Amino acid sequence: MDALAVFPDPPPPELARTLDVAGYSWLSVSSPEDAAKNEPPGGWAGAVVVADADPDGAWALCRAMRKKDRNVTRLLVLVSGRQLGDLELRDELFDDFCLTPFHPSEVEARLRHLVWRQGTTDVRQDLVEYTGLVLNLDTYQASIDSRPIDLTYMEYELLKFLAQNPGKVFTRETLLSRVWGYEYYGGARTVDVHIRRLRAKLGEEHANLIQTVRSVGYRFGQSRWSSASPTS
Amino acid sequence: MLKQQKDYVLHTVEERGVRLVRLWFTDVLGNLKSFAISPAELENALEDGMTFDGSAIDGYSRIQESDVLAMPDANTFEVLPFGDTMTPEARVFCNIHNLDGSPFDGDPRQVLKRNLQVAQQLGFDFYVAPDMEFFYFAPPVAGQPPQPLDAAGFFDLTTTDVAGTLRKQTIRTLETMSIPVEYSFHEDAPSQHEIDLRHTDAMTMADSIMTFRLIVKEVAAQQGVHATFMPKPLEGVQGSGMHMHLSLFRGDENAFYDEDDLYNLSPTAKAFMAGLLYHASEITAITNQTVNSYKRLVPGFEAPVHISWARNNRSGLIRVPIPKKANPTATRLEYRSPDPATNPYLAFSVLLAAGLRGIKEGYELPAEADANLFEMSDAELAKLGIAQLPQSLSDSLRVMEGSSLVFEALGEHIFEWFLRNKRSEWRAYKTHVSQFEHDRYLRSL
């Protein structure tokens, strides 16, 4: 997992200890320029910004990071009680906040929640979206037109695989080996059964998100070839 | 259990704010049983199972050890689409184990699992699509005959609306619970309805039937209506059946289909059908397990009476629907005697065992009986070698008792318990003096 950016440089010793105990790798940064220069190749895993000593520098860093990666890096700001008013009108500049003096396990819990997925810094990779369908890979939740749909585990896995590969045709065998790949009831027909169940759950107006390709298999979304034509 | 699968369930519980998780299992008579745990217990339950005292469950009791272990099948975890949306609940089906981890012999789900493994060893996946029939009545009043919605004054004004809305709502609920519906319609009898489920593997289908029966009753109860799967609730009109469309798949291929055959049936299909016909009487106590079941299996109401098969003859036990040319995967056998009060796990087990016996032993399929059997005399039927299904629960129990096939399919525990339990049901029925007898004998004798 890539490092967290921590402001200011050096950070309060209590914060450094909390991050070490929680097992995060981190680098302290003193300014937006410093943060850009030291950014790991995969991007920052997140940022913890302490705003109580140098509020202007802290918000400048948040603003710079937001601008640079368009809201990808998750930001936790630490503010003192009398700074709570500063949070107003700055909602876009942080993902969560914590009051100083902070409790180590609170910072740890909030941070864990913010940078949930190990090994990636791009929160957008955790969302699969396609015309009204949204799959949140972090939380395993699916919704269509903002209405949650309840799926069984295998229905979710199948929909995830298809939605991550829109426009491609998959045979039943491929789907079985890529999506199931372990003990299951029902043999190769299982794929058809699950497709039918998914279509029912997507509802009539979205059932055609999953198309049957005759004597081949299934395709999610528009064919990459037909998408050029506006009528299709 | 797979870690991702467990994660998925735990996350869903958290994200959807599930307050209660219901662990579902089935007793030997086919009643859905459940106990609820809090989400905090769930992780532990998925990992190690939950112990409970089985002695209170019909058919689970044993002499020495009564504790059993419910192991959730995480794949069946679903949020329930009814109840209070502010405090959602979820269900998960369980396999019941002994405390040492071995499958518990009294658990119908384990019995079906074992029978499906036999089929898998032969390379077959067993698929079932049931036609579920049931009645809607006004809430029952003790001592009063059931009141169909169509006839009951209570519902006069809204009759058609109530039943139509109920069915629509039921189907929507079924589909959100991963149970796709193929067709639905008002059946012949007043207040009788049919919902046909789309085929799936037998284990999932048995679970689905348990869920189906609950949903139909639940959705109806919300509107103050009583739904029943009693096989013959009204005299003089059709009863409720659960025709089962059976097929075997070998990988992607329907093992029952043969392009070159006159009937488009493969030798596998014919031998399977021969097995069903040959053992039909032995398995009838399971497919038709109540005293009342046998009041449905009488001539004149589209229920089978004779052990025969045909392509398009609804008086026989097995019908071979003619598949559309374009869709050989739809090749199937429609076994018509079961009723919706059966235990689906056990019914699928004995049907599969009978069919597989036919395949293994190479049974010969008797000739098609395409005449209307209800119009033939006993002598004519005898000449064709067509026997009748058992006429009563007592008859069918007697045949089952001598069946090594049913003994093997169910295992000793359930076989013995079922016979004991059902004999006592028959005894209780036999001592009952009915209105029929009063009307017929009181004055004249």
- CA A208 to chain B, closest CA, distance in angstroms equals 16
Residues B329 and B352 in one domain: yes
Say whether residue A147 is in contact with chain B using an 8 A CB cutoff.
Answer: no
Write out the two tokens for A191.
């794929």
Distance CA A207, CA A190 (A): 18
Say whether residue B440 is in contact with chain A using an 8 A CB cutoff.
Answer: no
Cα within 13 Å of Cα(B397), Cβ side = 20
Write out the two tokens for B340.
């919706």
Segment B8-16 shows an average pLDDT of: 90
Distance CA A52, CA B44 (A): 43
Q: List the single best residue of A141, A150, A182 to mutate versus B (max B Cβ within 10 A).
A: A150
Pick the residue with more confidence: A131 or B401? B401
> Which residue range(s) make up the domain with B50?
3-101
Distance CA A206, CA A134 (A): 12
Segment B265-285 shows an average pLDDT of: 97
Residues B332 and B224 in one domain: yes
Q: What pLDDT does B327 receive?
A: 76
Considering its fold, how many domains does chain B have in total?
Answer: 2
- CA A62 to chain B, closest CA, distance in angstroms equals 29
Residue B158 has pLDDT above 90, yes or no: no
A chain contacts of residue B75, beta-carbon cutoff 8 Å: 152-154, 184
What pairs with residue B183 in β-bridges?
B196
Say whether domain A4-121 belongs to CATH 3.40.50.2300. yes
Write out the two tokens for B154.
């209570």
Instruction: Choose from A116-130, B57-71, B335-349, B361-375 the range with maximum mean pLDDT.
Output: B335-349
Residue B407 has pLDDT above 60, yes or no: yes
3-state SS track over chain A: CCCEEEECCCCCHHHHHHHHHHCCCEEECCCHHHHHHHCCCCCCCEEEEECCCCHHHHHHHHHHHHHHHCCCCCEEEEEEHHHHHHHCCCHHHCCEEEEECCCHHHHHHHHHHHCCCCCCCCHHHHEEEECCEEEECCCCEEEECCEEECCCHHHHHHHHHHHHCCCCEEEHHHHHHHHHCCCCCCHHHHHHHHHHHHHHHHCHHHHHHEEEECCCEEEECCCCCHHHCCCC
Pick the residue with more confidence: A126 or B64? A126
Is residue A218 exposed (0-12), middle (13-18) or buried (19+ Cβ within 10 Å)? buried
The answer to whether residues B37 and B106 touch, using CB atoms and an 8 Å cutoff, is: no
Is B107 a domain residue? no
Q: Determine which of A139-143, B227-231, B247-251, B381-385 has the lowest per-residue pLDDT on average.
A: B381-385
This prediction's pTM: 0.79
Is B157 a domain residue? yes
Residues B145 and B20 in one domain: no
Residues B8 and B64 in one domain: yes
How many residues would you count in chain A? 232
Q: What pLDDT does B313 receive?
A: 75
Residues B240 and B316 in one domain: yes
Distance CA B259, CA B203 (A): 29
Distance CA B308, CA B53 (A): 44
Q: What pLDDT does B160 receive?
A: 58
Instruction: State the fold for domain A124-228.
Output: Arc Repressor Mutant, subunit A (1.10.10)
For B30, B149, B163, the CA distances from B159, given in Å and listed in that order, are 31, 6, 7
**How sure is the predictor about B350, in pLDDT bands with cuts at 50, 70 and 90?**
very high
A chain contacts of residue B199, beta-carbon cutoff 8 Å: 193
Domain ranges of chain A: 4-121, 124-228
Residue A183 has pLDDT above 80, yes or no: no
Q: What pLDDT does A228 receive?
A: 39
Residues B322 and B395 in one domain: yes
Q: What pLDDT does B152 receive?
A: 45
Is B108 a domain residue? no
Three-state DSSP state, B96? strand
Percentage of the residues of chain A whose pLDDT score is greater than 70? 87
Of B55, B80, B101, the one marking the end of a domain is B101
Q: What is the ipTM of this complex?
A: 0.83
Residue B155 has pLDDT above 50, yes or no: no
Percentage of the residues of chain B whose pLDDT score is greater than 90? 69
For A19, A112, B311, the CA distances from A108, given in Å and listed in that order, are 7, 6, 69
Segment B290-313 shows an average pLDDT of: 92
Say whether residue B88 is in contact with chain A using an 8 A CB cutoff.
Answer: no
Pick the residue with more confidence: B2 or B253? B253
The answer to whether residues B17 and B85 touch, using CB atoms and an 8 Å cutoff, is: no
Residues B170 and B29 in one domain: no
* Mean pLDDT over the full length of chain A: 83
Q: What is the CATH number of the domain that holds B395?
A: 3.30.590.10
What are the tens digits of pLDDT across the range A116-171?
A: 643 444 444 578 888 889 998 888 889 988 888 999 999 999 999 999 888 889 98
Q: What pLDDT does B159 receive?
A: 53
Amino acid at the residue B35: F
**How sure is the predictor about B355, in pLDDT bands with cuts at 50, 70 and 90?**
very high
Residues B195 and B320 in one domain: yes
Distance CA A178, CA B56 (A): 43
Number of neighbouring beta carbons within 10 Å of residue B339: 26
Q: What pLDDT does A22 receive?
A: 81
Percentage of the residues of chain A whose pLDDT score is greater than 90? 28
Say whether residue B206 is in contact with chain A using an 8 A CB cutoff.
Answer: no
Residues B96 and B171 in one domain: no
Between chains, do A153 and B201 touch, taking CB under 8 Å as contact?
no
- For B2, residues 6+ apart whose C-beta sits below 8 A from its C-beta are A182, B74
Residue A46 has pLDDT above 80, yes or no: yes
- CA A134 to chain B, closest CA, distance in angstroms equals 15
Selection from A183, A153, A159, A187 nearest residue A172 by Cα: A187
Residues B190 and B64 in one domain: no
The answer to whether residues B208 and B179 touch, using CB atoms and an 8 Å cutoff, is: yes
Q: Determine which of A178-187, A198-207, B138-147, B265-274 has the lowest per-residue pLDDT on average.
A: A178-187
**How sure is the predictor about A71, in pLDDT bands with cuts at 50, 70 and 90?**
low
Pick the residue with more confidence: A40 or A229? A40
Residue A205 has pLDDT above 60, yes or no: yes
Residue B66 has pLDDT above 90, yes or no: no
Residues B242 and B292 in one domain: yes
Residues B153 and B276 in one domain: yes
What pairs with residue A165 in β-bridges?
none
Q: What pLDDT does A114 receive?
A: 82
Between chains, do B200 and A186 touch, taking CB under 8 Å as contact?
yes
